[in-house]
Structure 1
Amino acid sequence: MSLPEHLPAQAWTTTSAGAALLTALEADAGETRLVGGAVRDALLGLDGADIDLATRFAPEEVMKRVKAAGLKAVPTGIAHGTVTVVGHDLVAEVTTLRRDVQSFGRHAQVAFTDDWRADAARRDFTVNALYADLPGGALHDYWGGLDDLSARRVRFIGDPLQRIAEDHLRILRFFRFSARFAAAIDADGLAACTARANDLMALSRERIAMELRLLLGLHDPVATLALMLEAGIFRPVLPELAASRLPVLAGMIAAEASAGLAPAWERRLAALLPAADTRVAYEVGARLKLSNAQRMRLVAAAQPTGPAPHWSAAWRDGSEAVIDRLLVAGDAAAAVPLIGWQRPKLPASGKDIIARGVAPGPEVAKRLGAFERSWVAAGFPDDAGTVAALLDAAVQS
């Protein structure tokens, strides 16, 4: 594909806060540049990348200049050179140029530098090591990132094995970025990730969950997941993920698109686990240290679907849970009618039972429960005659 010769105009640079930040950090003199995903995505015509700036100024100097410009400076990672700048309709991360002195898996000892190429050399992939002058948009490419981006290729900077040794998370990032941008997987990157897959065991499970969430949330990650499963990438940390379940995931993604459903990564993860096995789903959720809500959704999606019609299950468990498990089971046709369904209000209360001669006490709750079951089974009728008849039947049973 053909890329623009300059960075497309960035709207935030013309706001009062954006212009003040660029002036404070002397961007027009080349002391500060836009970097990374913001450059990559802008060149591809995509929206949504965070604003990341690289600068020659030391972190303390960045703080001083930002505050003098009337903006808020937050030292979110100042030991590693990062300051978060907050202004009206602006949040930007400014990081001083760095070079690695020593790496420890996911942690590195860094030294600040004024060398743009040295800063680029410590980044993961060539397409993430692009810089752009602001506001003019001139591009700076030290590792062939523009050619790779044009070819839709995700390639490690330098020796892939060494880059993975420096930061094990790069294994999962390689596949995520490949799923998002690449026309085909880079063979050298794939070989290195396969060789070092066991390095994932050194990562926190929260980090793994974060990358898995981002990967599964992409438009269609099936082909990339197939490569990962074939290469045994997940085996050290998530051996439950099965290649045999990929057709289920592919069908689910097609059903989501057809029904206009947004991707739900917990639902997609459930599709890759053994069918209708809530124990495995719970164990995976616990191992990944998911939040309670995420774990509950994963386990709910892994439950058996139960007999049709599914309205009663939706009444009991919520439509989201039933839609998830129907899609996981491959029954998109049954899931579609539940999309957008709102749980109706029970059209009766204990007062209606008492009015029919039942004395206040436990028997009221029992009779109201009988009414609820028959009302749900009847499809939630709301006309007064049917409701009255179901109430009478519940009292007389």
Structure 2
Amino acid sequence: MALPETRAVIAALEDRGFVGCARFVGGCVRNTLMGKPIDDIDIATTLTPDQVIDALAHAGLRAIPTGVDHGTVTAISGGKPYEITTLRRDVSTDGRRATVAFSQDWGQDAERRDFRFNALYVDPEGRLYDPTGEGVRDAREGRVVFVGDPMTRIREDYLRILRFFRFQAWYGKVEPDQKALAACKALKGMVSGRAAERTQKELMKLLASDDPRPALRLMAATGVLGSILPFVKSLARFESLLAIETEQLFENDPELRLAALIPDDPQVAEQMAERLRLPNNVRDRLVDAVGKSPRIVSWMSPREARRCVYALGIRTFSDRIKLAWAGSGRPVTSPQWRGLLALAETWTPPPFPLSGDEVMQAGVPKGPQVGEVMREIEIWWIDQDFIEDKFSAIERLKAVAQGMVY
């Protein structure tokens, strides 16, 4: 049973068109058949974008013209977005952008979609339409197969190469389609240099799947991985990280998985971030995660580990632990590595016991010397394993201040 906000969108379209002018399409239909959660609800319609906007306005629903040239309007109903796209056919395409003509033909619309299980439609009454005749079977069996000729579909949009591997990671249950693999391999050079934001989006979604290892192996074998990430020389650490995540029941972490694909070199991380147009916070995390200092080893003492946590922060320390563990060749059940992670998760660095005012009260004149004294005492405080004895810190301050003032 559709939610009230969903029924409101359909009712708005049918009020300006006719019963049957709108059908659910794509991921919401596919995921329903596969018993998977539904993230977004997409709707296909015979109405033109102008008619869609008019219909939504008449129903009191907000309409956002997100891509009217390509037939797409986003409706907001009950605070939720619904992407509504007019049936269309490609007039021309350069592998990145297509010129489309609007259509009234559901079959034509299906022919321009990427995979057969994405070319499924369901009307508001629950009737299922499978124009390719194979989409339902693909969804139920976990087959990722292009609509029609794979080479043709890819030439319409070269980033469909990455979509193939992403969908294989998320939904593939059987051996990958050989025609699709051959087409991806033949056209792999065309995916390099394409829209960085879309490339990043596809790659991160792939890496967020429960087990992206088989898909990454296929990408490496076909040369696709090297086309988009020439920095990747081996999948060994990536494979080990996934094994550790599985054994230790860690949450899927696509950002750290991406870091595991490159060497421990902040400069390489910077280059990759630029190539993929990663957000600044993700870039900074990757750069920190692959840093080399301080050195992380499984035999660190708790005291050494606490020093690293204080220097790096909890997240960066945890990232480096996991990457070092994955690259160490140690078992996925290693108690040493797991113990270091547990320390990071349970130990909170105490606040530094002295303030600038207290330093000046000890006789240090206001100015740069206050910072110098505080840094000197901080070094001592860390060396004392973050001693929480305020009296000892004050005594140390007096000794340092006397030495620096006189």
**Normalised TM-score (structure 2):** 0.86
Q: Which residue of 2 aligns with 1:4?
A: none
Say whether the 8 Å CA contact 1:229–1:242 is kept in structure 2.
no
C-alpha deviation, 1:388, in angstroms? 4.2
Pair 1:252 & 2:241 matched: yes
Q: Which residue of 2 aligns with 1:214?
A: 205
Pair 1:339 & 2:345 matched: yes
1:105-120 to 2 correspondence within 5 Å? 105-120=95-110
1:196-215 to 2 correspondence within 5 Å? 196-215=187-206
Q: Which residue of 2 aligns with 1:267?
A: 256
Q: Which residue of 2 aligns with 1:301?
A: 289
CA distance in 2, matches of 1:166, 1:362: 63
Q: What percentage of residue pairs aligned between the two structures are identical? A: 39
Say whether the 8 Å CA contact 2:88–2:100 is kept in structure 1.
yes
Q: Which residue of 1 aligns with 2:321?
A: 326
Residue segments in structure 2 that go unaligned for 5+ positions in a row: 327-336
C-alpha deviation, 1:69, in angstroms? 0.8
CA distance in 2, matches of 1:204, 1:237: 11
Change (3 A) 1:394 1:338: farther
Pair 1:137 & 2:126 matched: yes
Amino acid at match of 1:321: T
1:339-361: CA deviation from partner (whole Å, max 9, x where unpaired): 36545422211233334444444
Which SS does the other structure have where 1:163 is aligned?
Answer: helix
Pair 1:285 & 2:253 matched: no
Amino acid at match of 2:271: E
Q: Which residue of 1 aligns with 2:383?
A: 377
1:144-183 to 2 correspondence within 5 Å? 144-183=134-173
Q: Which residue of 2 aligns with 1:363?
A: 369
C-alpha deviation, 1:34, in angstroms? 0.5
CA distance in 1, matches of 2:240, 2:383: 30
1:15-49: CA deviation from partner (whole Å, max 9, x where unpaired): 2x332221122298221111001111122222242
Judge which range, 215-224 or 17-26, deviates more: 17-26
CA distance in 2, matches of 1:268, 1:58: 42
CA distance in 2, matches of 1:140, 1:394: 80
1:230-260: CA deviation from partner (whole Å, max 9, x where unpaired): 22112233211123xx232233234445556
Change (3 A) 1:78 1:348: same
Judge which range, 384-393 or 143-152, deviates more: 384-393
Please report the RMSD computed on the Cα atoms of aligned residues, expressed in angstroms.
Answer: 2.3
Amino acid at match of 2:351: K
1:46-61 to 2 correspondence within 5 Å? 46-61=36-51
C-alpha deviation, 1:65, in angstroms? 1.2
Amino acid at match of 1:330: W
Say whether the 8 Å CA contact 1:259–1:336 is kept in structure 2.
no
Change (3 A) 1:337 1:256: farther
Q: Which residue of 1 aligns with 2:178?
A: 187
Q: Which residue of 1 aligns with 2:94?
A: 104
C-alpha deviation, 1:102, in angstroms? 1.6
CA distance in 1, matches of 2:140, 2:161: 22
Judge which range, 125-134 or 18-27, deviates more: 18-27
CA distance in 2, matches of 1:251, 1:377: 34
Q: Which residue of 2 aligns with 1:314?
A: 309
1:347-358 to 2 correspondence within 5 Å? 347-358=353-364
Say whether the 8 Å CA contact 1:305–1:329 is kept in structure 2.
no
Pair 1:26 & 2:26 matched: no
CA distance in 2, matches of 1:45, 1:386: 63
CA distance in 1, matches of 2:236, 2:52: 51
Say whether the 8 Å CA contact 1:127–1:149 is kept in structure 2.
yes
Judge which range, 251-260 or 302-311, deviates more: 251-260
Say whether the 8 Å CA contact 2:216–2:225 is kept in structure 1.
no
Q: Which residue of 2 aligns with 1:3?
A: none
Say whether the 8 Å CA contact 1:375–1:390 is kept in structure 2.
no
Amino acid at match of 2:190: D
Q: Which residue of 2 aligns with 1:127?
A: 117
Which SS does the other structure have where 1:236 is aligned?
Answer: helix
C-alpha deviation, 1:207, in angstroms? 2.1
Say whether the 8 Å CA contact 2:359–2:397 is kept in structure 1.
yes
